[in-house]
Amino acid sequence: MIDNLKKHWFVVIVAIIFLIGIIYFANTQINSVLKGKRVDGKDVVSEVNNVNLFADDYYDKLLEKYGDQELYKLFERASLNAIPSSDEDKKKAEEDAKKQIQAISAQQGAPGLENLDKALVALGYSGKDELAVFYENMTKKDNMTAEYLEANYDKYVKKFIEDKQPRMVSHILITMDDSSKPTDAEQQKINKVDEALKGGKNFGEVALEFSDDQQTAPNKGSLGYMDKETEYQEEFLASALSLKQGETGVWIKTSYGQHLVHIDSTDYKDFKTEQGFLSAINNANPELEALVLWSKAKELDIKFHNKDIEKRLKTIMGIEDDKQ
């Protein structure tokens, strides 16, 4: 029995923490409202117009209101904890967490750090001290989703690609006060970009040299992932969606100035692990996140010693049978 408990420690912990949390919260509320009142041998939580709400009713309502989301969070956290992280992923998570905390501290001070604490607690973590763990787990979730989509390409990816036209995009921006009337200096810069590209220079190198977009120019003009739902200005979106892989469009006008759009790739393998793509395909398939988690749980060979917990989780996650 001890070996069995060790093998499935995270499932046991899920059930214990969940039940302890519900009971503790409920008892705290009972003790603070009507401590000591009992009717027909039952604890009374509240009384309105001589109508009693008993503790058993309270537990049921509490479970109904908070139980599903808390149980799912605990199950997800426990499952993610059972997946090892690479040394590279751990190091990156720690570096990203350190940078994020430093940035929030510098920009928002103590209130910002307090909000970060609250946000992480709401997600099931102890606070900002577990920000690196949160980043690790997000990487694990991305990897899980990418693996699941690879195995279920025809069901999810093929249709998404047909509907949303996903792609990796770069651009060159020449900023202008009036994109319809470029100044002589702005037009000269456009001409230099055209000459460089016609001369055979790589689009990324030209973007690095000439683009006025200070965020993307250092990365050779890369905007990363986009699809037809990406919130770009209409002219920019239309240009990006009209081009094939490797093509560069004509100059287009937006409120920022004039742009050249270049399609780096429309190949699934080039964006399948991009967070933008994973978020977009999850949004398009609301059931996907739960299916990915359940699939991974099965791979980890999770066994439920409490069938009520298993049944409740399946209901929460929309799992109808063991074929998921």
Residue 69: predicted pLDDT = 79
Q: What pLDDT digit, counting tens, does each position of 151-169 carry?
A: 999 999 999 999 999 999 9
**Percent residues over pLDDT 70 in the chain:** 78
Q: In whole angstroms, give the CA distance from residue 133 to residue 275.
A: 18
Question: Residue range 228-236: average pLDDT?
Answer: 96
Residue 19: predicted pLDDT = 41
Evaluate whether residue 310 is within a structural domain: no
Name the domain boundary from 81, 98, 129: 81
Evaluate whether residue 307 is within a structural domain: no
Q: In whole angstroms, give the CA distance from residue 130 to residue 119.
A: 11
What CATH number does the domain containing 200 carry?
3.10.50.40
Evaluate whether residue 52 is within a structural domain: yes
Evaluate whether residue 108 is within a structural domain: yes
Please count the structural domains in the chain: 3
Residue 23: predicted pLDDT = 41
Evaluate whether residue 309 is within a structural domain: no
Evaluate whether residue 287 is within a structural domain: yes
Residue 111: predicted pLDDT = 93
Residue 307: predicted pLDDT = 85
Name the domain boundary from 81, 103, 134: 81
Name the domain boundary from 81, 97, 129: 81
Neighbouring-strand partners of residue 166: none
Residue 33: predicted pLDDT = 39
Please indicate, yes or no, whether residues 32 and 153 belong to a single structural domain of this protein: no
Please indicate, yes or no, whether residues 43 and 109 belong to a single structural domain of this protein: no
Please indicate, yes or no, whether residues 98 and 151 belong to a single structural domain of this protein: yes
Question: Residue range 240-255: average pLDDT?
Answer: 97
Q: Which residue carries 């319809």 as its tokens?
A: 180
Please indicate, yes or no, whether residues 155 and 279 belong to a single structural domain of this protein: yes
Please indicate, yes or no, whether residues 99 and 180 belong to a single structural domain of this protein: no
233 token code pair: 């200005």
Residue 49: predicted pLDDT = 46
Evaluate whether residue 142 is within a structural domain: yes
The pTM score is 0.73
Please indicate, yes or no, whether residues 156 and 71 belong to a single structural domain of this protein: no
Q: What pLDDT digit, counting tens, does each position of 209-220 carry?
A: 999 999 999 999
Q: What contacts 24+ positions apart, CB below 8 Å, involve 121-129?
A: 123/73, 124/73, 124/74, 124/76, 124/77, 125/77, 128/101
Residue 72: predicted pLDDT = 86
Q: In whole angstroms, give the CA distance from residue 124 to residue 12.
A: 17
Residue 309: predicted pLDDT = 83
Evaluate whether residue 311 is within a structural domain: no
Please indicate, yes or no, whether residues 175 and 223 belong to a single structural domain of this protein: yes
Please indicate, yes or no, whether residues 173 and 258 belong to a single structural domain of this protein: yes
Residue 5: predicted pLDDT = 27
Residue 70: predicted pLDDT = 79
Q: Structural domain of residue 202, as residue ranges?
A: 167-265
Give the mean pLDDT of the chain: 83
Query: Of 323, 318, 322, which is closest to residue 287 (Cα–Cα)?
Result: 318
Please check the confidence at residue 207 and state whether its pLDDT lies above 80: yes
More confident: 128 or 310 = 128
More confident: 8 or 156 = 156
Please check the confidence at residue 41 and state whether its pLDDT lies above 70: no
Question: Residue range 246-269: average pLDDT?
Answer: 97
Q: In whole angstroms, give the CA distance from residue 2 to residue 295.
A: 26
Please indicate, yes or no, whether residues 76 and 21 belong to a single structural domain of this protein: yes
Please indicate, yes or no, whether residues 19 and 156 belong to a single structural domain of this protein: no
Please indicate, yes or no, whether residues 55 and 31 belong to a single structural domain of this protein: yes
Please check the confidence at residue 263 and state whether its pLDDT lies above 70: yes
Question: Residue range 226-236: average pLDDT?
Answer: 96
Residue 28: predicted pLDDT = 44
Please indicate, yes or no, whether residues 69 and 45 belong to a single structural domain of this protein: yes
